[in-house]
Amino acid sequence: MKFSNSYAHLDEVFYQRIRPTPVRDPRLLLWNARLAEQLMAPDELVQDLSALAQVFSGNHILPGSEPIAIVYAGHQFGTFVPRLGDGRAHLLGEVLDQSGRRWDIQLKGSGRTSFSRGGDGRCPLGPAVREFIMSEAMKFLGVPTTRCLAVVTTGETVFRETALPGGVVTRVASSHLRIGTFQYFAAQGDQQALETLCRYSMARHYPELQEEGDTPYIQFMKKVMERQIHLVVEWMRVGFIHGVMNTDNTTITGETIDYGPCAMMGIYDPKTVYSSIDTMGRYAFGNQPEILQWNMARFAECLLPLINADTHKAVEAVRPVIEEAFPALFEKEYMNMMGKKLGFTSFREEDRKLIDTFLKQLKDGRLDYTVTFDLLTRSLTSEPAASRMKDELGDCFDLWQKRLRMQTDVSQKVQKLMREHNPVVIPRNHHVEEVIQACLETGNATSAERFLQVLRSPYKELAQTSEYQDPPGDGDKDYRTFCGT
């Protein structure tokens, strides 16, 4: 693991240099061996469990690591907070992987920083395990995401409403740059820092833009928008509800970040919300596209002074991107994705109506999103699946079959397409909770590893997949998630 830190070499307005606060008795609970291999973690470290626990708790700092806490701002539930920042996280540095790609290695739960405000800088073990499981599931579902390398138990107690065991999770991300990072400097009117940040971001994530003549910032905004649209469409494909789409949790790389109150939708309903603090349903499943557009508008606002010194002209330059290009691209990507879930090898204008009717049927019939698309895929080759779908979907099923018969493509192609877009298993909320509970009670990761094995193969049934496919008995009626702070 060779560090090559670029962010820590920017001006100090971007971060605070600070080391993690050591923990009492670190022990390794979860380790992501494949990711470690990709990051070229040295064998002598990987083979020494106690050394891993020391390093990924923040007790021991590896040579080359230059720990920092990054500053950022953000809109939380629509309200602007001018200074957030890593209040319980330390960026250990960046490493280059086997293929030369750069990754941030960050500890979360590693102690207080100057951005902690009233917080203790710590993380309970439960949410750390949750982040590991959920991000790994998303990765293998094919959804862009940050990942987890390790979860370490600290041997210390974290006090929330009750006393909880503490944990430190190591997050690997292609960067931690978020809309909130830009908002911090924009709110301060620090145009120089803003420009540095844009140049840094483009060089790191969109090097092709450096060639863009006089409109690099607009092109930058468009790239971020494209990646984020792809991300949210992917969330909608698998039924993921992020739960806290604040601008500080919206990356400029289009990776899912911050698995606090996230959950998977069972019964299809765009109004689904599980987060205990989202009382207004701002971040409900079906609101995610609109919230993303709102977040992109906040991003655009940050870039205005760089786009044109004349604010009016700058606004006129970005308006069409947010108001026209955004909805058009989202709609196109979303319809394409839904069409693929339904086996349409190419999208036709008339499909829009069929997709709407289909989703309405799911909602009205209170059908499980994942089960239904899985059964629909099976109905291509299985008579029992087809007859169940006919019962549950009625006319909709006939319309869908009729639409498929219009395709000249061979049925094998349709089957492959549907299978690639419809998982057989997702990290269902009740299973995630059960597995976290088992980790907390036993102090070992056996049940998590078993679950992870299934989640790493979400489009193919393994022997134990069926243990994790059942929707919750109560339809997640009373399920609530928490921010995990």
Interacting span for Mg ion (CB under 5 A) from 52-60, 102-110, 252-260, 426-434: 252-260
How far, in Å, CA of 76 to CA of 382, rounded?
Answer: 47
The only residue of 93, 121, 126, 127 in contact with ligand AMP, by rule CB under 6 A: 121
How far, in Å, CA of 404 to CA of 386, rounded?
Answer: 14
Residue 260 binding result from ligand AMP, Mg ion, none, given CB thresholds of 5 to 8 Å by partner type: ligand AMP
Binding positions for Mg ion, 398-427, rule CB under 5 A:
none
How far, in Å, CA of 217 to CA of 197, rounded?
Answer: 11
Site string for ligand AMP, 424-463 (x = CB under 6 A): ----------------------------------------
Number of other residues whose CB lies within 10 A of the CB of residue 114: 14
CA–CA–CA angle 72, 74, 76 (5° rounding): 140
User: Can residue 250 be called a binding residue for Mg ion (CB under 5 A)?
Assistant: no
DSSP 117-179: TT--S-EEHHHHHHHHHHHHHHHHHT--B-EEEEEEEEEEEEESSSEEEEEEEEEEES---BH
Name the residue nearer to ligand AMP (CB basis): 160 or 348.
Answer: 160
Name the residue nearer to ligand AMP (CB basis): 144 or 243.
Answer: 243
Q: How far is the CB of 113 from Mg ion (least distance, A)?
A: 14
Closest C-alpha among 164, 152, 176 to residue 60: 152
User: Can residue 78 be called a binding residue for ligand AMP (CB under 6 A)?
Assistant: no
User: Can residue 483 be called a binding residue for ligand AMP (CB under 6 A)?
Assistant: yes
Number of other residues whose CB lies within 10 A of the CB of residue 95: 23
- Name 262's Cβ contacts closer than 8 Å, sequence gap at least 6: 134, 240, 241, 242, 243, 244, 481
- Count of chain residues binding Mg ion (CB under 5 A): 2
User: Can residue 113 be called a binding residue for Mg ion (CB under 5 A)?
Assistant: no
How far, in Å, CA of 116 to CA of 16, rounded?
Answer: 12
Q: How far is the CB of 370 from ligand AMP (least distance, A)?
A: 27
Query: 150 forms bridges with which residues in the sheet?
Result: 31, 170
User: Can residue 85 be called a binding residue for ligand AMP (CB under 6 A)?
Assistant: yes
The only residue of 48, 97, 120, 212 in contact with ligand AMP, by rule CB under 6 A: 120
Name the residue nearer to ligand AMP (CB basis): 113 or 469.
Answer: 113
CA–CA–CA angle 55, 58, 59 (5° rounding): 80
Q: How far is the CB of 278 from ligand AMP (least distance, A)?
A: 12
How far, in Å, CA of 212 to CA of 406, rounded?
Answer: 44
User: Can residue 166 be called a binding residue for ligand AMP (CB under 6 A)?
Assistant: no
How far, in Å, CA of 171 to CA of 116, rounded?
Answer: 19
Q: Residue 18 corresponds to which amino acid?
A: I
Q: Which of 43, 48, 97, 248 is catalytic?
A: 248
Q: How far is the CB of 294 from ligand AMP (least distance, A)?
A: 17
Name the residue nearer to ligand AMP (CB basis): 85 or 165.
Answer: 85
- Position of minimal CB gap to Mg ion: 258
User: Can residue 168 be called a binding residue for ligand AMP (CB under 6 A)?
Assistant: no
Residue 87 binding result from Mg ion, ligand AMP, none, given CB thresholds of 5 to 8 Å by partner type: ligand AMP
How far, in Å, CA of 47 to CA of 51, rounded?
Answer: 9
Site string for ligand AMP, 240-269 (x = CB under 6 A): ---------x--------x-x---------
The verdict on whether 248 is a catalytic residue reads yes
Binding positions for ligand AMP, 314-353, rule CB under 6 A:
none
How far, in Å, CA of 65 to CA of 160, rounded?
Answer: 31
Q: How far is the CB of 169 from ligand AMP (least distance, A)?
A: 11
User: Can residue 110 be called a binding residue for Mg ion (CB under 5 A)?
Assistant: no
- Position of minimal CB gap to ligand AMP: 119
CB crowding 42-76: b at 16 or more within 10 Å, else e: eeeeeeeeeebbbbbbbbebbeebbbbbbbbbbbb
Q: How far is the CB of 433 from ligand AMP (least distance, A)?
A: 19
- As annotated, the active-site residues are 248
| Residue ranges that bind ligand AMP, judged by CB under 6 A | 84-88, 115-116, 119-122, 249, 258, 260, 483, 485
